[in-house]
Structure 1
């Protein structure tokens, strides 16, 4: 028979499915491009084009030299930058560059607290753009939904015995303006649960996809939900580590991801 703790842990994981998909939909315009899972047949994600079969080479022609086709799996990985400062338990102070924006998005998504709404509010306050105060409330609301889903009061600290971790393994970054000061970063991530007396999650959430729009503000990268920026977000090809089309579209594997 499933214990009360096991039942709560199960509900916590189910709620994480929501926070891994629905929550970030509120962090992008309209939610249409907010979140997509890789194993879904989602028309918003562009499908990889199929290569046209080439004609067989003549038996008398010399074999052409092989040309390496890059894929996210065999191409150089993104060397992430470390935050230069810390605010309310989340890394800040990323450099003013495309790599800085990518590193910031990955760091934010991996370090955001998913169960403590007080910490989550402080973290979102530290990384939200001034034009996006609603982003803070949206992030906190999703944490409270998770808490209620496991039978906890809406507000409070992390419960004993349940912890979650997020690992981003690929990213795609595109500038949304000519200056490069507003960028959209797509992320592919796995999410794991650690449950008291049971160890690591044997059925983690895998290959979840989300995106964050960041703008350069106050000498750091901040999350923005301003519609004039989020309306410019376009869905990329679906991520496949073995796909040359995914690499050509900009997907890169993350170092140590």
Structure 2
């Protein structure tokens, strides 16, 4: 197979992967970095659940709040950057949310060398499984689309991730370990094709971030992965999704 055909295959694969395989591109399921344990078991993913009988919060006028009708949440910009990824977020719930969204949108999902540099920068510790697992999964994806296991994007391909909604859950009593679920779209483009005619839409994954060394860091430590839980499936027009904690992200 020549190089051009490999490029086409790679782009097609990124644009049409199922949610489960996309999780590999993003370094694995819940985690998409924070969730694959060394034993190989995955954290729970978002699944649909029956409507609850309890009443959802109501907006003025008697209408129930939904993610689409409620106020959107802000995402802060990183104060600094290193190795191609933003760093520097405040020690607050907004900071945890902002860090997870920023990391998810900046991480390289096709260049294993870039991904390793980024993961080492944002990992909770040099030995955290997130680095090893993340790089391994990127290489598996590359091989799966006919590329060498290690290398940069084929023929200038870029992958853009746009997080649209988030849900936060603290995994400890102090709020220093936070599971951040995200709903996002992903686009693959190249110099030859500046638009993606078949982007991935409404994908769901999450990161576990922990406050350490003066910033929010990504972790896959087993004790936190075991506490991770899956949310109600995201629906922008569902009062039950709002009740579960889903909030849309403000533009900009």
Q: TM-score range by the shorter chain?
A: 0.7 to 0.9
Output aligned runs, 1:42-121, within 5 Å: 42=47, 45-49=48-52, 66-121=61-116
Instruction: From the superposition, tell whether residues 12 and 76 of structure 1 become closer, same or farther in structure 2 (CA, over 3 Å).
Output: closer
TM-score of the superposed pair, with normalisation by structure 1: 0.83
CA separation in 2, counterparts of 1:151 and 1:106?
30
Q: Match for residue 20 of structure 1?
A: 22
Q: Match for residue 9 of structure 1?
A: 11
How far apart are residue 72 of structure 1 and its match? 0.6
Q: Match for residue 223 of structure 1?
A: 218
Q: Is the 8 A contact 1:94 1:101 kept in 2?
A: yes
Q: Match for residue 42 of structure 2?
A: 31
How far apart are residue 46 of structure 1 and its match? 3.0
RMSD: 2.3
How far apart are residue 198 of structure 1 and its match? 2.5
SS of residue paired to 1:211? strand
TM-score of the superposed pair, with normalisation by structure 2: 0.85
CA separation in 1, counterparts of 2:156 and 2:20?
21
CA separation in 1, counterparts of 2:81 and 2:18?
26
Q: Is the 8 A contact 1:132 1:225 kept in 2?
A: no
CA separation in 2, counterparts of 1:161 and 1:218?
35
Q: 2:149 aligns with which of 131, 154, 177?
A: 154
CA separation in 1, counterparts of 2:190 and 2:20?
19
How far does the alpha carbon of each residue in 1:4-42 deviate from its partner, in whole angstroms, 9 at most, with x for none? 243342234356855522432263142141x44xxxxx4
Matched residue count: 235
CA separation in 1, counterparts of 2:69 and 2:213?
37
